[in-house]
Amino acid sequence: MTMVGTMVWLSSEIMFFAGLFAIYFTIRAVSTELWDEKTALLNVPFAAVNTTILVISSVWCQIGVFKAEEGKVSRSGSLFNPATWGMREWFVLTYIFGAVFVAGQVWEYAVLISEGVMLNSDPYGSAFYITTGFHGIHVAGGLIAFLLIIGRSFTAKRYTYAQKVGAHVVSYYWHFVDVVWVALFFTIYVLQ
């Protein structure tokens, strides 16, 4: 039931992000000259690297889920041998990549603010920060969920079905956040 409930909830999140895309495209259609001016300020190569980091984190997350399904919670060998890692180590790596992505977004925001693109400066700034900001909040929520799953793996005396379900649910959410970002990346940085 937890997994089904998560999928239903993520469906509602799809509608939420669809509304954000609608805002973005509507404002873009009304302010074309502003769009041309402001999109020139975007650092597309940096955003592409940051996107790659987030997408790779989804791979690490899925490997962690596979380990959870095997019942392998933690590593059985050296920390420097990923072949012996369990769910915990893969989820920690996912967390690190996710945190790097968020740090990259914060850096990009700081650069854009220094160039005069702010939330209240014009319609472009509003659309950019609202769409990417809400996504960033969702990524931060996913990072908190990973911390909870990782922490629970340390405190549980034995690995249970509920912990396996928790790993699956967090992975559903993380993959969802990644797919939404890929769509945002192509909309904001590639299509411009």
Using 50 as the pLDDT threshold, list the residues of the chain that sit under it: none
- CATH architecture, domain 2-191: Up-down Bundle (1.20)
SS3 content of the chain, % helix, strand, coil (to 5): 85, 0, 15
pLDDT, residue 5, reads 84
pLDDT, residue 1, reads 73
pLDDT, residue 176, reads 94
pLDDT, residue 156, reads 78
Instruction: Note if the pTM is more than 0.85.
Output: yes
pLDDT, residue 117, reads 94
pLDDT, residue 60, reads 98
pLDDT, residue 105, reads 97
Structure tokens at 73: 């919670």
Greatest C-alpha distance within the chain: 61
Let me know: does 130 contact 141? Beta carbons within 8 Å.
no
Residue 74 CB: number of other CB atoms within 10 A? Answer: 14
**Backbone phi, psi, residue 122, to 5°:** -170, 175
The alpha carbons of the chain give a radius of gyration, in whole angstroms, of 19
